[in-house]
Structure 1
Amino acid sequence: MNELLGNRIRAFRCAKNYTQEQIADLIGVSRQKYARIENGINSITLDALLKIADVLGVTVSDITRVLDETPAVQYRSGSDEGSSEKIFDMVNLFYANKHVYDRLKHKDID
């Protein structure tokens, strides 16, 4: 999951002709930390996801849409290895997206 999001973020960054260092400076993290997000090594926090989306001029759902595009068959390949980790990742992402939605909804009300 982290790798999918990282690849999607990298694609948006490259399309905008930004360097990793420029994005890292704009969101307030080190270039190394940002590179680990793009490489799928570090999990991306909701706060970082919101900042990255803002800097790149896209929505959070534009970035996370890649998770909806992965085939469900991937999780039913017959191998149980890491399947519980994938389920927890999906649940965590659901709650992160719900939290983003709630925050954006409250901004519209204010």
Structure 2
Amino acid sequence: MLSQIIQTASQRVRELRQLKELTHEQLATLAGVSRQFLKKFEDEQTNISIEKLNDIAVALGIHISDLLVENNHFSIEEKLIEQIKMLSRNKTSRDLKYVIALLNAMEQEESSLH
């Protein structure tokens, strides 16, 4: 049985990989590990070295400590920011300006309600 810290890390890796809409193959490539290893780690079927865990954290764009803290779940704002980043990939300047205008309009509407 894996330690609680490793279990937490494996759950966080899965959560973040899915949030960033990465496949096992994509994250494994970015982290320099095999797809099979990553899947086994997420399924809590194997242990991991600190070095490999750090490589995965870097590939996810976070600090390794973010994988080790059980109560370090993303807030709704962080999830929204991550989703906006994902959706903005390969978009034109016009599309991005439209999104910014939409967000500004939402903010103005909220301000007028208070």
TM-score (norm 2): 0.54
Counterpart residue type for residue 27 of structure 1: A
Residues 23 and 55, structure 1, Cα contact 8 Å, conserved in 2: yes
TM-score (norm 1): 0.56
Matched, 1:45 2:49: yes
Residues 27 and 56, structure 2, Cα contact 8 Å, conserved in 1: yes
Task: Report the Cα distance in structure 2 between the residues aligned to 1:8 and 1:50, rounded to whole angstroms.
Answer: 13
Matched, 1:28 2:28: no
Shift of 1:27: 1.7
Residues 9 and 38, structure 1, Cα contact 8 Å, conserved in 2: yes
Q: Which residue in 2 is equivalent to 1:59? A: 63
**Residues 75-90 of structure 1: matches in 2 within 5 Å?**
none
Q: Tell me, what secondary structure is at the counterpart of 1:41?
A: coil
Moved over 2 A (4+): 1-4
Q: Structure 2: state its 5+ residue gaps.
A: 72-114
Matched, 1:8 2:12: yes
Q: Structure 1: state its 5+ residue gaps.
A: 70-110
Q: Tell me, what secondary structure is at the counterpart of 2:69?
A: helix
Counterpart residue type for residue 41 of structure 1: Q
Task: Report the Cα distance in structure 1 between the residues aligned to 2:27 and 2:69, rounded to whole angstroms.
Answer: 21
Give the aligned length: 67
Shift of 1:30: 1.5
Identity %: 34
Residues 6 and 38, structure 1, Cα contact 8 Å, conserved in 2: yes
CA-based RMSD of the aligned residues comes to 1.2
